[in-house]
Structure 1
Amino acid sequence: MASNKSLLLVVVVLGVLMGAVDSTIVILALPTIVTDLHSDLFTMIWIILIYLLEVAVLTTQLGRLGDSYGRARIYNLGFIVFTIGSALCGASPSAYFLIGSRGVQALGASMMQANSGAIISDNFPPNTRGKAFGYTSIGWNVGAILGIVLGGIITTLIGWRYIFYINVPIGIAASILGFKVVKDVNKVKRDIDIYGILLFGSSLALITYGSADIAGEGLALKNEIPLTIGLLLLIPFVIVEQRVKSPLIDFKIFKNRVLTSSLFASFLQSTGYLSTAFLLIMYLQGIRGLSPLNASLLLVPGYVIAGMIGPLAGRLSDKIGSRIPATIGIGLMAFVSFLYSHLLSLTTPLIDIIFISVIGGIGSSLFYPANNSAVMANTPKHAYGSVSGMLRTLSNTGILLSYVISITVASLTVPRYVAFEVFLGTSDLIGGVATKFITGLHSAFLVSVGILAVALVLSAIRGKEIRAQASEGTV
């Protein structure tokens, strides 16, 4: 029993890790891809955006399908789709083929991410769930940032196509293992909320597109209109969800304070802290002139620390609940953004960057498993899939907003195209322009502090959990 659960956890962690890594892995590879495929930056940025957009839109819906048709079935099929998409990405002969292949890859990632939390909740009781989420949280949340590191290393050493090809053998092996060990435990047949899916999907798609375009080109009618329409569509969506028999999002679950606070703490943490990673890469490449490889290596210690502490922190949340470790974790991440906003300069010792990133790694390892465990522990069994999908939707939307914040706020002191080129690693700044850009970065880090402060408050007021269910096995 314990062995089967361990294998199941390996499959889930692999799926979540691969999907999360590929949400950001192309960032440092983008200039190389642009040159190799003879395209331009404003076209190729959609290699990033199509993935974030699709995953943000689809995860809630695919979590809902997992509730009805089997979470394990949707998850395992997602592995196959993701692996096929990865192979297509690596073999892409043109920019538009690569963008389309990223869409296939994102569909598979959405199927896995939407149901991973539900599979954990199906197979692990509440009093051991935090430990399990400690591993899966490493896969998702650390993976999203680790993708930046791997993108720089793989692109520099063996070529950009291998950032996708590396998924293929792993995906094949994990798919075979997944069909053997990941089985459906709870399956609740529910009607499909077609109107809810259309309204919610359209709203998220328009909001995401409008926000991404603002980051690239600034406020303009062509992004203000879709953004406004997307926000307005949330009104009929809420009305429809109150009236249908089997809603896509059952708003009654938000009466649970722990669940509601945990979900929105996750969204704000993703929005505030992922922007820190983007901003730091801009600083290391654009101001300090580091190569993608060297910039990536500086961040490795923080990820290593997070990987080591994550499962232990998850076990701690099993014993004392999520509020204390998650809140301390958010506080440490806010402290990291505060340090960056005051310490980064033209001559900041790089050892300081490593030290601060380690503090961030400790913070993330405390927050993620505790918070994710709190979400699923306070979700009714029949809604595991939809809430797991909602958690991923909020996290992915937060990643996209982090990108928007990074570019928008940092570019207040320099022309937007300069900030955009620095973000993509195609321009190094010197002299007065560099000094001005550092001022913009400081402002963006302070915005991150503010967002994380709100997340900290939500985490602190979530209330105390009780996890008294007896253990049903060990990991």
Structure 2
Amino acid sequence: MKILSTYHLHLLIVLLFSLPYLLSFYLQGICDFTPSKAALYLIPLSLPQLLMGPLGGFLADYFGAKKILLIGNSIILISILILTLQLKQFYPILFIITLLVISIGNALAWPSLSKAVFSSIPKEQSGAFSGLFYTLYNIGRALTQPLSIFSMQFVLPETVLSKIITGNHYASYNGLEVFATKSLQLAFWSVFLFFCLSMIFSVLVQSQRITSPIHDQK
């Protein structure tokens, strides 16, 4: 169970931290937004989870961490799918609502995941595992940018991609909006598929939690 929870944690960190980077690329490099305007559109991705974090922890205590974790992950998974499907045409209201829902799912998933991980660790090993927890956290953040760029390079050449990432309207000036959008869709589909894998880990952790009392009785 500790191994599954750790893998789930690492996947969730990489996937969630990749979203702001990919969305910044989308808003500035494809939608031609200024950095300040793009930043305003990304506020809904963070605001709800700042307010709902304590509520997510309370629900994890009351209903159980595994159930709330599964609900939070399901919300994020469906929202990422909706976000991926709307990349070809930017709808401001739908975009903002989708980011709000992702943030709500994140507020439910993170407290539950932290509780599920640390509750499975013996007290005498809690210090060492806390160090491992934040090591995985930092590794996940470090891997976000290179993995995002790597996934988009399957469609766009590196020289073109580097210019679009700067947000200097290179895509619109050179008729590359379609290719840039396809590269971004590929990156988001990668996020979606890996999040499906994260959901599998979540279900496996839940099933192990249910079956463990049976094995203990035997």
Q: Which TM-score bucket, shorter chain as reference?
A: 0.7 to 0.9
Residue type at the aligned position of 2:16: Y
Question: Which residue of structure 2 aligns with residue 290 of structure 1?
Answer: 33
Question: Which residue of structure 2 aligns with residue 411 of structure 1?
Answer: 153
Q: For residues 330 and 421 of structure 1, what CA distance do their matches in structure 2 show?
A: 34
Residues 291-320 of structure 1 deviation map (CA, whole Å, 9 limit, x = unaligned): 111101111123211112111111111122
1:329 CA displacement: 1.4
Residues 413-432 of structure 1 deviation map (CA, whole Å, 9 limit, x = unaligned): 22213323333435541163
Q: For residues 288 and 441 of structure 1, what CA distance do their matches in structure 2 show?
A: 12
1:462 CA displacement: 0.9
Q: For residues 427 and 415 of structure 1, what CA distance do their matches in structure 2 show?
A: 16
Question: Which residue of structure 1 aligns with residue 16 of structure 2?
Answer: 273
Question: Which residue of structure 2 aligns with residue 397 of structure 1?
Answer: 139
Contact 2:45 2:100 in 1 (8 A): yes
Question: Which residue of structure 2 aligns with residue 172 of structure 1?
Answer: none
Contact 2:29 2:165 in 1 (8 A): yes
SS at match of 2:205: coil
Question: Which residue of structure 2 aligns with residue 326 of structure 1?
Answer: 69
Residue type at the aligned position of 1:308: L
Alignment partner of 1:316 is 2:81: no
Spell out the pairing of 1:337-348 with structure 2 (5 A cutoff).
Answer: 337-345=80-88, 347-348=89-90
Spell out the pairing of 1:110-149 with structure 2 (5 A cutoff).
Answer: none
Contact 2:155 2:182 in 1 (8 A): yes
Question: Which residue of structure 2 aligns with residue 457 of structure 1?
Answer: 200
Q: For residues 91 and 176 of structure 2, what CA distance do their matches in structure 1 show?
A: 20
Residues 141-175 of structure 1 deviation map (CA, whole Å, 9 limit, x = unaligned): xxxxxxxxxxxxxxxxxxxxxxxxxxxxxxxxxxx
Alignment partner of 1:437 is 2:180: yes
In our comparison, the structure showing a higher alpha carbon Rg is: 1
Over aligned residue pairs, what C-alpha RMSD do you find? Answer: 1.8
Alignment partner of 1:263 is 2:13: no
Residue type at the aligned position of 1:436: F
1:284 CA displacement: 0.1
1:327 CA displacement: 1.5
Q: For residues 362 and 428 of structure 1, what CA distance do their matches in structure 2 show?
A: 34
Contact 1:412 1:440 in 2 (8 A): yes
Residue type at the aligned position of 2:86: L
Which range is displaced more, 271-280 or 414-423?
414-423
Alignment partner of 1:388 is 2:127: no
Contact 1:340 1:442 in 2 (8 A): no
Which one has more relative contact order, counting CA pairs under 8 Å at least 6 apart? 2
1:364 aligned residue (106, 115, 118): 106
1:357 CA displacement: 0.4
Q: For residues 155 and 44 of structure 2, what CA distance do their matches in structure 1 show?
A: 31
Contact 2:5 2:202 in 1 (8 A): yes
SS at match of 1:432: coil
1:401 CA displacement: 2.3
Question: Which residue of structure 1 aligns with residue 213 of structure 2?
Answer: none
1:261 CA displacement: 2.0
1:266 CA displacement: 1.1
Q: For residues 428 and 351 of structure 1, what CA distance do their matches in structure 2 show?
A: 26
Q: Which consecutive residues of structure 2, in runs of 5 or more, have no partner in the other structure?
A: 211-218
In the superposition, the TM-score normalised over structure 2's length comes to 0.88
Question: Which residue of structure 2 aligns with residue 233 of structure 1?
Answer: none
Residues 181-224 of structure 1 deviation map (CA, whole Å, 9 limit, x = unaligned): xxxxxxxxxxxxxxxxxxxxxxxxxxxxxxxxxxxxxxxxxxxx
SS at match of 1:412: coil
Q: Which consecutive residues of structure 1, in runs of 5 or more, have no partner in the other structure?
A: 1-256, 466-475
SS at match of 1:379: coil
In the superposition, the TM-score normalised over structure 1's length comes to 0.42
Contact 2:25 2:165 in 1 (8 A): yes
Spell out the pairing of 1:16-35 with structure 2 (5 A cutoff).
Answer: none
Q: Percent identity?
A: 26
Instruction: Say which structure is richer in helix.
Output: 2
